[in-house]
Amino acid sequence: SSDLLAALAGRSPSAVICEILNDDGSMARLPDLVQFAKTHQLMLGSIANLIQYRSSHESLVEEIADRAITLQGKPWRLVAFTDKA
């Protein structure tokens, strides 16, 4: 979402989403947006780019427990995680 993009950019987590239109009033599609980005020297990203970035830079789970245990006379380490979502 737009607030996530703002936060990732180190800005206040708030933003505005708007639709980019072609001169004829139709909704701009990817080829139009690529040209728009070049013309205005803007970066262009996709939801897939955002998912890939977050998956490689953020942990999706949180460790909630870490214990040493013994099973059948052998030491084990038990670690439990929970989903951050």
Question: In angstroms, rounded to a whole number, what is the distance separating the alpha carbons of residues 24 and 63?
Answer: 53
What is the pLDDT confidence band of residue 1, given thresholds at 50, 70 and 90?
low
**By CB neighbour count within 10 A (0-12 exposed, 13-18 middle, 19+ buried), where does 75 fall?**
exposed
In this model, does residue 2 exceed pLDDT 80? no
The amino acid at 48: A
pLDDT of residue 47: 84
Q: Each residue of 5-54: pLDDT tens digit?
A: 888 888 887 777 889 999 999 999 999 999 999 999 999 988 888 888 88
